[in-house]
Amino acid sequence: MIKETYSNSCRAVGQLEELPSVNELGFGRIFTAHMLMMDYKNGEWQDPRIVPFSDLDLHPASVVLHYGQQIFEGQKAFRTEDGVFLFRPDENARRFNNSARIMHMPEIKEKEQLEEIKRLIKEDIDFVPSAPASLYVRPTMIATTHELGVKVADEYLYYVILSPSGSYFKEGFKPISLLVTNEYSRVTENGVGNAKTAANYAVSLRALTYARNNGYDQVLFLDAKTKKEIEEVPAMNVFIVKNNVLVTPELSDRIIPGITRKSVLALAELLRIKSEERRITIDELIDGVESQEINEFFGTGTAAVIAPVGRFGYKGKTYLVNKGRIGKITRLLYSKLIGIQQDKSEDPFDWMKFVG
């Protein structure tokens, strides 16, 4: 039973007798009963508090609404037989502060981030679903100074909301399709492309809508300067497997430093799968798929975990990857990663952190 406090597309969880089924959860549409809030005033963070889930009270002139000073994170908590665990939350806290530096916003000590997030999850621990679902955790910071001059804000709100969620893609672990665009660009050099900030996602929406209107699930961006190098999907980093070597674009100020990406590279080393971080051109991708030197292509992200790519389109032509089937390395990495997260496999890296 769900207490509906908003529209059907955005529901807040009240007192539950039981959680909905995985199919009913969807992704990021249902929220738990509480949220965490903390204010930045007079040069320091203060008043961390857990409050009932509610709308935000924002001044119409808040800097976030006019000049976009905002950052966020995405992480997951999993219910196992031994309790509830967060996946690599220290990496999320570190990346949150990196985004804060890029957006010229105040950092929050990593230890404090982790302690407050754990405290919130404990408050709503009954809402953490069992596998294969998870609890999606969304920390956010917004600038709340209210004046219309273009300036760095001196007051901020940090808040965390929790969403019991199923798979990011409704099909689950099945091949998706990508439209490679050279018409639209996501970010440029020396910008904020490696920060988790709203602007990086806002600029992708027009291209994403175009892709979906033309029969594709997601859009893959090329670099803005040469339109030759593949970079990332709005919600995912990308990998290919070429001649049994795992390859992913090297990190830059144009690419989000994905935690799932980092985890996949660590798993590849553990499994003795050779990997490379380097530039990948669209020509290399097309030539490799046509020659079958590249027989696997997938995306990685906190929400999607690992999403195999079965086909992609570029300049009016469609290319099938491995005849649209999931490759063995993709399947192996997915199995190992999900196994660690759901406590079905050994965690040799100590990635899972106990909450309660």
According to DSSP, residue 10 is labeled S
Buried/exposed code over 135-158 (b: 16+ C-beta within 10 A; e: otherwise): bbbbbbbbbbbbeeeeeebeebbb
Task: Indicate the SS3 state at residue 54.
Answer: coil
Per the CB < 8 A criterion, the answer to whether 221 and 184 are in contact is: yes
Phi/psi of residue 336, each to 5°?
Answer: -70, -45
Residue 227 CA to its chain's centroid (Å): 24
pLDDT digits (tens, 9 = 90+) for 78-127: 999 999 999 999 999 999 999 999 999 999 999 999 999 999 999 999 99
Nearby residues of 281 by Cβ (< 8 Å), 6 or more positions away = 228, 229, 230
pLDDT of residue 9: 39
For position 18, what pLDDT does the model report?
61
| Ranges in the chain, pLDDT < 70 | 1-19
Q: What is the rounded distance in angstroms from the CA atom of residue 117 to the CA atom of residue 2?
A: 24
Q: How far apart are CA 292 and CA 323, in angstroms?
A: 10
* Residue-wise pLDDT tens digits, 127-150: 999 989 999 999 999 999 999 999
Sign of CA dihedral 168, 114, 251, 291: negative
Domains identified in the chain and CATH numbers: 11-165 (3.30.470.10), 176-341 (3.20.10.10)
Nearest to 61 by CA among 173, 157, 144: 144
